[in-house]
Structure 1
Amino acid sequence: MELIVRAVDVGSGNTKLVTGVAGADIRCASFPSVAYPSSGETPQWPASERRKTFCIPVGPLFYEVGPDVGLAADTFRAKQLHDEYTESPEYMALLRGALSMMKVPHIDLLIVGLPVALFTLKKAALEKAMVGSHQVGGGKTVTVAKAMAVAQPQGALVHYAAEHQKIESIGTEQSLVIDPGSRTFDWLVTRGMRLVQKQSHSINRGMSDVLRLLAAEVSKDLGTPYRDYDAIDLALRTGKAPVIFQKPYDMKRHLPLAESVAQQAVSTMRQWIETPESLQNIILVGGGAFLFKKAVKAAFPKHRIHEVKEPMFANVRGFQLAGQNYAASTMAPGRDRGAGEAA
């Protein structure tokens, strides 16, 4: 029997997961990292308003999570913007929501991600918490036999190497992977695939800081509180003006302020990089890549900045590849790595 390998990356903005593998095609999905608590398993909504969410039991409560969670009645959106979020019931609810979407009852190896700054601190505890039987709602369970935690940008490096047929050559190269996410701005310096710990780190300076800063500016401009972070995020990504009080609002005037957050984060990272001239690969991934690109190019003007398709899924695709390789070489000795679906 083929080993079932799956990957999930519970970020503070979005939860990304692998739903299946067909040859070299790694299929991914995502949903907002928002979990609404309730005391009962069945959400109270009319049949005409069915939405794609799951009610996940964690402790004494149930948490509604999933792609349509934004339609939930509660408008308060608590974000897990702290270093203990991997130990919170919301994290477990999001993780189990991802397991539910994978539609497999058993996983032989589950790969999960951690911010660089938390990797050595949280790795062992997170791996332990992932192993065992997980209730995913509706009386269903998913069992996980083994789990491995990976530094989030390390997944992106594996994905980049596979996408550009550099799996062999990258083993002798120095690389910098930059991953601006929702809560954290992560970077990873590697020699081959090995982490250079003293030059790798993460800081709490991600897209959520940008969105809060711009919301405050819009609020001052309008003279009334404005907190539609999703609308601001969409405006930044598409260049289209959000509609506020029935009128298009010119968000472009605030773009320099947004870019200043990116500049601060990149400037901090730059101080950790001891020999930038020795870097052979600089790879930019993550959901905030589009906004941080300008600052990264300014910080490394003599380098080519590499990007990947669908940067939001770069980490989780790399997790999957790393998991498949580990399973093929360690969990099933003598098995052909390229045979069948390793997930």
Structure 2
Amino acid sequence: MSDKKGPVAVSIDIGFGRVSITKSIGSEIDIVTFTSHAYPVDLSKYNKLSGRVLHQKDNVIVDVDGISYEVGPHLDAFMSDYESRTTTEDYVDSPRYKALFLAALSMQPEDTIDFLVGGLPVNNMKKESRLIDFMTGEHKVNGRVITVRNAIVVAQPLGILYHHAFNEAKQENILPSQWLKGKRILTLDAGYSTFDWLFTIGMLPDENRSDAKPLGAYRIYSDVATALQSPAIFDGAVHVDLVDEALKNGSFKLFGESYDFPTNRIRKPFFDIQPRIAHVAHEALAAVKSQIRDGGGIDLILLGGGPIDNYQEAVRESYPKNKIEKVVNADDAVCRGLALIASQVAKSAAINSK
């Protein structure tokens, strides 16, 4: 949230894998993040078990079309067989997306938001106007009415680009627009569902060299889970969220047993799933290179998004002569950049209103 004396400008990034929202914009950006799980709950039974009370801190209950959903940072990914995450282009129209949005909005301390900036995958920007219509206006949540006066939606990789430009410009004591001027930058954003790329000259995107494919982390998790399910390894169903946790922690847990990950050579069953990860990463970069074959015209390649480490080697193999940088705070770089865009829009609006 910006200075209370001025307009309130914030950002929300609702991804397939997690949700990030800024609560303040200043010298330090305050970000709240939680996984994109939204579970339908029966309020007549909710809170009757003490264990449920103990786990509900910071979670919220929101209503979407008459159905109550629990959303928040303290949800167990395995608490239900219900498919809580959607990975299709219809995501922004789904009840789950709306539940995640309302939950994130409820975490804002202010009841009136002057400028809200959100993001979409590059290949889903055709739904920009629909999402703006949904975000704008009054929203009833948790006994509050929160009003969003103005909403803006941009391609998610643009948030990564502006986040990086802001940090670089700050070091050189210039404006982000000055730092970006004339630079030809390829921004790669590894998300949960999609792998996005955005080619820009300055801040101007080139739509003919920008796109997204369903080659994000979910594809990696799914392929790895399939491999682990084989009779030669665990011979049974493996949940993709177990793979997600294993890649973050370096340890795969199943039925209470732990195994080294992504390569396990200590005890049976032995496995090495690194080739599976590499295969998806190279497939993603092949899609990028189908549009941008030659890296000679690229000044800088930026890497962002939580799962981006799984793709770095493939990026460097695909563009061996290019300068490649992983942005700071890569996990939530999109939301940070969107927050900075919101702040800039608010400042411009304030100046124009004088």
> Which residue pairs with 2:266 in the alignment?
none
> Which residue pairs with 1:86 in the alignment?
92
| Deviation of 1:306 (Å) | 0.9
**Higher relative contact order by CA 8 Å / sep ≥ 6: 1 or 2?**
1
Equivalent residue of 2:181, what SS? helix
Number of matched pairs: 330
Deviations 1:253-277 (A, max 9, x none): 1111111101101111111115421
Which amino acid in structure 1 is aligned with residue 238 of structure 2?
Y
Q: Is 2:225 aligned against 1:225?
A: no
Residues 1:4 and 1:266: Cα distance change in structure 2 (over 3 Å): same
Q: Is 2:30 aligned against 1:18?
A: no
Equivalent residue of 2:289, what SS? helix
Q: Is 2:39 aligned against 1:7?
A: no
Which amino acid in structure 1 is aligned with residue 159 of structure 2?
G
Residues 1:71 and 1:245: Cα distance change in structure 2 (over 3 Å): closer
The separation in 2 between residues aligned to 1:116 and 1:243, in whole angstroms, is 35
The separation in 2 between residues aligned to 1:4 and 1:58, in whole angstroms, is 25
The separation in 2 between residues aligned to 1:262 and 1:195, in whole angstroms, is 24
Which amino acid in structure 1 is aligned with residue 157 of structure 2?
P
> Which residue pairs with 1:104 in the alignment?
110
Contact 1:8 1:98 in 2 (8 A): yes
1:155-234 to structure 2, matched below 5 A, reads: 155-165=159-169, 167=176, 168-220=178-230, 221-227=233-239, 229-234=240-245
> Which residue pairs with 1:29 in the alignment?
32
The separation in 1 between residues aligned to 2:147 and 2:44, in whole angstroms, is 20
Contact 1:117 1:202 in 2 (8 A): yes
Which amino acid in structure 1 is aligned with residue 24 of structure 2?
G
> Which residue pairs with 1:305 in the alignment?
324
| Deviation of 1:122 (Å) | 0.5
Q: Percent identity?
A: 28
The separation in 2 between residues aligned to 1:247 and 1:71, in whole angstroms, is 18
Equivalent residue of 1:265, what SS? helix
> Which residue pairs with 1:340 in the alignment?
none
Residues 1:150 and 1:78: Cα distance change in structure 2 (over 3 Å): same
1:106-145 to structure 2, matched below 5 A, reads: 106-119=112-125, 121-137=126-142, 139-145=143-149
| Deviation of 1:331 (Å) | 4.8
The separation in 2 between residues aligned to 1:62 and 1:102, in whole angstroms, is 20
Residues 1:170 and 1:96: Cα distance change in structure 2 (over 3 Å): same
Equivalent residue of 1:164, what SS? helix
Alignment partner of 2:290 out of 254, 264, 271: 271
| Deviation of 1:84 (Å) | 1.2
| Deviation of 1:169 (Å) | 2.5
Which amino acid in structure 1 is aligned with residue 110 of structure 2?
V
Gap regions ≥5 residues in structure 1: 336-343
Equivalent residue of 2:11, what SS? strand
Contact 2:64 2:95 in 1 (8 A): yes
| Deviation of 1:334 (Å) | 6.3
Residues 1:19 and 1:43: Cα distance change in structure 2 (over 3 Å): farther
> Which residue pairs with 2:67 in the alignment?
61
Q: Which runs of 4+ in 1 moved over 6 A?
A: none
Deviations 1:192-237 (A, max 9, x none): 001100000000111001111111111111112121x333223223
| Deviation of 1:28 (Å) | 1.0
The separation in 1 between residues aligned to 2:28 and 2:57, in whole angstroms, is 28
Deviations 1:267-315 (A, max 9, x none): 1111111542111121000011111111111111011211122212111
Deviations 1:23-64 (A, max 9, x none): 321111210111111343883342444432100111111111
Which amino acid in structure 2 is aligned with residue 312 of structure 1?
D
Contact 1:109 1:146 in 2 (8 A): yes
Residues 1:148 and 1:218: Cα distance change in structure 2 (over 3 Å): same
Residues 1:255 and 1:333: Cα distance change in structure 2 (over 3 Å): same
The separation in 2 between residues aligned to 1:41 and 1:145, in whole angstroms, is 35
Q: Pairwise CA RMSD of aligned residues?
A: 1.8
The separation in 2 between residues aligned to 1:14 and 1:202, in whole angstroms, is 18
The separation in 2 between residues aligned to 1:41 and 1:151, in whole angstroms, is 40
Equivalent residue of 2:88, what SS? coil
The separation in 2 between residues aligned to 1:160 and 1:208, in whole angstroms, is 26
